Amino acid sequence: MLQFIGRRLLLALPTLLGVATLTFFMLHVLPGDLVETMLRAEGGNPSVELVAAERARLGLDQPLIVQYFEFLKGLAVLDLGQSHWTGKPVAEEIFSRLPVTLEVAALSMIVAIALAIPLGTIAGMYPGSTVDYAIRSFAIAGIALPSFWFGMVVALAMLWYFNWLPPLGTASLFKNPLTALQQLILPAIAVGYRYSAILIRMMRSSVIETMHEDFVRTARAKGLAMRTIIRRHVIPNSLLPTITMIGLEFALLVGSLVVIEQVFSLNGIGRLFIESVSRSDFIVIQGIVMVLTLIFIAVNFLVDLAYAVIDPRIQLG
């Protein structure tokens, strides 16, 4: 077990280094940097000296390769540097916004799983039936509807019919659960529905598969009630591939979150990302990509662990 963990960690290092390198050089292709944007964008009239001085202060006048090694040097000691825009540490910028994103992610996951397990199971039990088609269409609609569109339409409908909007500001799920839930529920539904669509399909096909397994046949032959068979045998066994899917489609979840935070003005990491893109605050963008990559690796690692815990037949290695 320890060996497995150690090996995974070791494997993660080159991936992280690669991601860092790739993002760094991709970001520096286009002309224009943050200094110009900061000093000029809104009609300011900076002198050439001022622009040069600010560049020097931020270290943007250094050759690219020097900046790259500075960045790596920081990473090695877990220092993501300072935002060029606000001057605050990148880590602080990111971690002050991460909770919101993680909360929406967790809630979306709950919504998705709550939809996927019952619907996927029912569809899998009666493949080819009308119920099956209805559920599959529901699932596919979830994939097909752009989450930003769906989210916006739901939000406008709530405003139109109930004059209700999520409360302003950013409430913490732990300190102020009721307000936070009101803020997070619509985005969670918009993202969760889309996410559930993938899980429903996975759940369905694994249920179909499990239903044909010998132990289910045996259980039926023994005269166990169908409901018991489903609950005790079919669902637990079908959960495995579905859980794997959660980890694998994590990237998709993050992508949806970036857009949905924009739609609902949520102060999460996705909005920070978009803002940083429009300001060319490269150092923050790099930080966000690194953190997301780390989370991605961690989630997949946890999924593998969970896999092993649920199914002792699987050996780690």
Partner 1 sequence: MRKSSAATELWTTLPKPRGPVMKHILGQPLGALGLVLIVLGFVVAFAAPWIAPYDPLATDYGNAIAPPSFAHWMGTDSFGRDLLSRILFGGRTAFLIGVSASFIGCTIGLFVGITSAYAGGWVDAIVERFMEILLAIPITVLALVLVSSLGRNMVYGVDLNLVFAIALPIIPKMARVARSQALTIRNLSYIDAAVTLGFSDLRIIVRHMAPNIFGPYIVMLTAFISQAILIEASLSYLGLGVAEPTPSWGLMLAGNAFNTSMTAPWIVIYPGLAIALVVFAFSMFGDALRDVFDPKARADR
Partner 2 sequence: MTIHGKILALAAMGALLLNGAVAAAQEPVPKEGGILRYAVSDDPANFDCHAANHFAALMRLAPHYSTLLRFKPGSYPDIEGDLADSWEANPADLTYTFKLRQGVKFHDGSDLKAADIAATYDRLTWPPEGVVSERLETFRQIEKIDVVDDYTVRFKLKEWDESVLGTFASPYNCVYSAALLKSDASYPKEKVMGSGPFVFDEFVSGSVWKSSKFEDYFREGQPYLDGLESYTMEGPAVVNAIQAGQIHTDFRGVSPQGADRLKQSLGDGISIESGPALTHFLVTFNAEKPPFDDERVRRALNLAIDRWGGVKGLGRTTEMRYAGGIFLPGGQFAASDAELQKMAGFGTDIAAAREEAKRLLKEAGQENLSFDLTVRNGPPIVVDFGVFLADQWRQIGVNARNVVVETPPWAAALSEGSYQVIIDIYSALREEPTEQMTKYVSHDVSARSAGRFTDRELDDLWHKQALEQDKVKRMALLRTFESRLYEKSYSVPVVWLERIVAMNAALKGWTFNPSNFLYLDQSSTWLDE
Judged by the rule CB under 8 A, the positions of this chain that interact with partner 2 are 30-34, 36-48, 50-51, 54, 57, 85-88, 93, 96-97, 152, 155-156, 159, 163-165, 167-170, 264-265, 267, 271-272, 275, 277-280
Question: Looking at 137, 172, 228, 265, which residue binds partner 1 (CB under 8 A)?
Answer: 137
Of 163-222, binders to partner 1 (CB under 8 A) are 201, 205, 208-209, 212
H or E, element range at 240? helix 235-248
Q: Is 108 in the site for partner 1 (CB under 8 A)?
A: no
DSSP labels for 269-282? HHHHHHHHHHHT-H
Least distance (Å) between residue 251 CB and partner 2: 23
Q: Is 259 in the site for partner 1 (CB under 8 A)?
A: yes
Question: Looking at 228, 251, 265, 311, which residue binds partner 1 (CB under 8 A)?
Answer: 251
Distance CA(28)–CA(316), nearest Å, equals 40
Q: Residue 291: is it exposed, middle or buried by C-beta count within 10 angstroms (0-12/13-18/19+)?
A: middle
Q: Which of partner 1, partner 2, none lies near 127, with the C-beta cut-off 5 to 8 A by kind? A: partner 1
Q: Is 9 in the site for partner 1 (CB under 8 A)?
A: no
Based on DSSP, count helices (H) and strands (E) in the chain, helices before strands: 14, 0
Nearer to partner 1, 107 or 194 (CB): 194
Least distance (Å) between residue 49 CB and partner 1: 28
Q: Is 240 in the site for partner 1 (CB under 8 A)?
A: no
User: Which tokens sit at 288?
Assistant: 């966000």
Least distance (Å) between residue 78 CB and partner 1: 18
Distance CA(234)–CA(226), nearest Å, equals 10
Q: Is 153 in the site for partner 1 (CB under 8 A)?
A: yes
| 59, HSE (Cβ side, Cα atoms, 13 Å) | 17
User: Which tokens sit at 314?
Assistant: 């699987």
Distance CA(309)–CA(21), nearest Å, equals 35
